[in-house]
A = this chain, B = another copy of it.
Amino acid sequence: MLSFISAGESHGEGIVAILEGMVAGLKVDASYINEDLKRRQGGYGRSVRMKMEKDTAHILAGMHHKVTTGSPIALMVKNNVRTIEKLPAITSPRPGHADLAGMLKYGIKDARTILERSSARETVARVAVGSICKKFLEDFGVFGFFHVVNIGGVEANTGDLSLKELEKKSSRSALWCADPEAEKCMREKIDTAAARGDTLGGVGELVMTNVVAGVGTFTSWRKRLDARIAEALMSIPSVKGVEIGIGFRGAHLAGSLFHDPVYYSKKEGFHRSSNNAGGIEGGMSNGEVITVRLMAKPIPTLTQGLDSVNVVTKETTQAHNERHDTVVLGACGVIAQAMLSFVLADAYLEKFGGDSLHETKMNFLHYCESIQRF
C-alpha cells in the first residue's frame, strides 16, 4: 500500500523523497518532521559538521494547510554543501564503503558518483518519510523509541528497567543509553577512539508499544511482518545484523523456556508471561511489545585511514577520507525507528484500508472491538 523512494546525493542539491499511499487527513507540521531530522544529527561522538548544519524538510507536494491530501507527498531536505560538480575524483576506494564494488559495477575509475549516493546522507529521506508514518501510527496509539545497548563492546545493563524507565532514561542520554554507568564508559571509549582517529559501532534496540495483534501475515513469505522489518532495517547503511525479540541471544534456550506462554484475563485480554518473540509470531504482530535489535558497524571513514589501492596505478595507498563522525549509533536508531514506522504504517494500511484517516480509523476501531469481544 505504502511505498517511498528517495533520490539525492551528499553534495548535490539535496535529498528528495516521495511517499505514496498515505491517507488524507493526517496533520503533520513540518516542525514535527524537523524534530526527527534534528535527532538524526545529534548524539555524542558526532562531527563538527553535524553540529553546524541543520536539516529541514521542505514539503513540495501532497499537503494542504499542513494536512495530507491522499496524494503522493514529496519533500526535500536541501544540502548546505552543494559542490558536487567541483569535487575531485576518488580513485582509492574506502574499505567498508560502496566504492570498490561500485567502481567495478559501473566500470569507472572514479568513485565520486558512487559515494555521493551511497553516503548516509540519503537517510534524511528515510527519517522525514518515517516521521510522517510515525505521526500516522501515533493516531492509532502506537509509540516507540530506540535505546543503545552496546557501543564498542561496552554493554548497557537495563534488564531491571520497565519500558517507561527505559524510554525516560535513554531519552535523556546523549548516547540514547539508559544505563548511566555504561554510558560513562561508552563516552570514554568514544573519546579514546576519536583521539586515535578511529570509529566505533554497536547494538541498539527499537521498541514499539501498542501494536494491535494480527498485522502482517504468514500467508506469503514477502508479506510477513518480520521479513519486512528485517528488509527495512538491513537496508540502512552500516547495519549488519537484525534480530527480533531475543534473537541470537536466545540460541541456547530450550523451547520450553523460549516460547511465551499465553494467559487470559478480562482486564488484559490475551497476554504473555515473557516476550522472547519480540511481539511477532507467525509473521504477524501478536499484541505484545515489538522489540528489534540491530548491529551497526563502525563507520568506515577513519581519520587514520585504512589500506587500500589506487585503482589507476594499482599501488597500495591509504583510503580516501571524507567524513569524521566517531560513532553514529544514535542516528542509526533514529533512522531505524523511521523505517520501522514505515513498515508498520504500511501493514496497518494493508489491514485496515481506507482513503482518509477517518475511514482507516473507523475500520481499525471496529477491528479492535472484535478483538475485545473475542
Contacts and interface: CB of A to CB of B under 8 A. Distances in A.
Interface residues of A, number: 155
A131 interface: no
Nearest to A218: B118
B355 A105 contact: yes
Given A69-B117, A244-B240, A61 B235 contact: no
Given A153-B251, A241-B243, A255-B306, 11 more contacts: A7-B18, A12-B60, A64-B116, A100-B286, A114-B218, A203-B251, A230-B235, A237-B283, A263-B316, A264-B314, A277-B297
A304 B256 contact: yes
A113 B241 CA distance: 33
Nearest to A288: B101
A73 interface: yes
A95 B260 contact: yes
Contacts of A84: 64
B214 A104 contact: yes
11 contacts: A9-B62, A12-B61, A64-B116, A69-B116, A105-B215, A117-B218, A199-B255, A226-B239, A227-B232, A240-B278, A352-B354
A113 B69 contact: yes
Residue of A101, A244, A300, A354 with most chain B CB atoms under a 10 A cut-off? A101
A150 interface: yes
A298 B24 contact: no
Interface in A260-291: 260-264, 270, 272-273, 276-278, 281-287
Nearest to A363: B363
Given A219-B117, A234-B226, A261 B105 contact: no
Interface string A337-374: 00000000000011111111011101100110011001
B245 A240 contact: yes
A159 interface: no
Contacts of A73: 7
A266 to B, nearest CB: 8
A134 interface: no
A222 B231 contact: yes
A373 to B, nearest CB: 9
B241 A370 contact: no
Contact of A255 (B70, B96, B213): B96
Contact of A9 (B61, B100, B231): B61
Nearest to A265: B314
Contacts of A140: none
A20 interface: yes
A343 B174 CA distance: 39
A308 B272 CA distance: 9
A200 interface: yes
Contacts of A367: 359
Interface string A47-78: 00000000000001110110001111110100
Contact of A71 (B24, B61, B219): B219
Contact of A250 (B64, B254, B297, B316): B297
Interface string A72-108: 1110100000001100000001011111111111111
Contact of A229 (B126, B234, B260): B234
A85 B101 contact: no
A205 interface: no
A258 interface: yes
A312 to B, nearest CB: 10
A118 B250 CA distance: 22
